[in-house]
Amino acid sequence: MKTATTKTKHSHNKKLIIGTLCAIGAAVCYGTNPLARFLYAEGMNIPSVLFWRFGLAWVIVALVMLFRAFSPLAASRESLRVSRREFLTLSALGLLFVFSSATLYTSFSLMPSGIASTILFTYPVMTAVIMSLFFRERATLPTIVSIVLSLAGVALLSFNDDGGTFSPLGILLVLISALTYALYIIVVDKSPLQMSSFKINFYVLFYCALGNLVYGLLTGQPLMLPPTPTACFWVGWLAVVPAIMALVMMVYAAKYLGSTPTAILGALEPTTAVLIGVFVFSEPFSPRLFLGIVLVLAAVTLVVLAKARHKA
């Protein structure tokens, strides 16, 4: 007969397994963003790809929110109403995510998407730097070392096998994407928002869809419908897999596994993107690029572990 302690331990182990699988799943799902290149090949412009991706994801989240707001079957009720201060904060988050997504997806058309996704993964290091510069968090030795490692990694990833550099504009855009995502994380962390991730994403995804529609109009790239059933499939994939599924699994990963292990397992995100780039799109890969990827991942892991040790 099982004792209470045995049952508790079994339940804890089960949650750890679920949390680990969810963390891996979230990272792998988000790492499939480079599959947007299939839509570029179908002739769709970048604002249209992002509009349909975020628009469809917003519809899915909106249905979840309506269920939570009005269904008697919902475990907890959550209104869609927000205060003026919350609206301003959500607007800032939406604009930051518009810039982050637009610059990342544009970089996919200018340089290998796997390399771009790896450079994007420097955002935790950028977050640590911003917190040190503007929020008086002490710059520790691990933070300084991680900055050096990430800079070295990005430098290695900037050069192709012919000795030249990948598109300077592409590298700049993905660095802007990482910076704006780092700012997004800081705003979420420092703001007094008291709402579920679904509610936050309800407003953020709406801004993303609207922002990319405006972006397309301002740049003379009108909204395009997915031209083929294959394009419709990939739009659905980008809306469901790297957006909704990654979001849901990340929530369970943080809950059952903890934020630090979840962040470390996030290294599978750029790893997935690199594998997709190499095996699906025949992107270049070499020992030098491998070393660059390892340096970036090591820098991020160092930052995450140092932050966890500081909190402990």
Tell whether the model's pLDDT for residue 217 goes beyond 50. Answer: yes
Taking the C-alpha atoms of residue 135 and residue 133, their distance in angstroms, rounded to an integer, is 6
For the ranges 81-90, 187-196, 217-226, the lowest mean pLDDT is seen at 187-196
| 108: amino acid identity, one letter | F
Q: Which residues contact 127 (CB under 8 A, 6 or more apart)?
A: 182, 185, 186, 303
Q: Where are the domains of the chain?
A: 21-311
- Kindly tell me the burial class for residue 7, based on how many C-beta atoms sit within 10 Å of its own C-beta (0-12, 13-18, 19 or more): exposed
Q: What tokens appear for 188 in the block?
A: 């979420």
**Would the pTM of this model clear 0.75, i.e. be above it?**
yes
pLDDT on residue 152: 94
Of 265, 252, 261, the closest CA to residue 308 belongs to: 261
Judged by phi (left if over 0) then psi (alpha if -120 to 50, else beta), residue 127 lies in: alpha
Taking the C-alpha atoms of residue 81 and residue 170, their distance in angstroms, rounded to an integer, is 39
Tell whether the model's pLDDT for residue 163 goes beyond 70. Answer: no
pLDDT on residue 214: 94
Taking the C-alpha atoms of residue 133 and residue 139, their distance in angstroms, rounded to an integer, is 8
- SS3 for 155-171 is HHHCECCCCCECCHHHH
Higher pLDDT, residue 206 or 254: 206
Taking the C-alpha atoms of residue 107 and residue 177, their distance in angstroms, rounded to an integer, is 9
Residue 165 phi, psi dihedral angles, 5° rounding: -100, 155
Of 118, 120, 137, the closest CA to residue 179 belongs to: 120
Taking the C-alpha atoms of residue 6 and residue 245, their distance in angstroms, rounded to an integer, is 33
For the ranges 164-168, 215-219, 273-277, 279-283, the lowest mean pLDDT is seen at 164-168
The pLDDT tens digits for 268-278 are 999 999 999 99
Tell whether the model's pLDDT for residue 4 goes beyond 70. Answer: no
Tokens 């096998």 found at? 161
Of 271, 262, 273, the closest CA to residue 301 belongs to: 262
What are the residues facing 52 on neighbouring strands?
none
Q: What tokens appear for 170 in the block?
A: 């592409």
Band of pLDDT at residue 310, cut at 50, 70 and 90? low
Taking the C-alpha atoms of residue 158 and residue 143, their distance in angstroms, rounded to an integer, is 22
Q: Are 209 and 51 in contact (CB under 8 A)?
A: yes
Taking the C-alpha atoms of residue 250 and residue 246, their distance in angstroms, rounded to an integer, is 6
Q: Are 242 and 27 in contact (CB under 8 A)?
A: no
Band of pLDDT at residue 1, cut at 50, 70 and 90? very low
Tell whether the model's pLDDT for residue 73 goes beyond 80. Answer: no
pLDDT on residue 194: 83
Tell whether the model's pLDDT for residue 109 goes beyond 90. Answer: yes
Tokens 């109009």 found at? 217
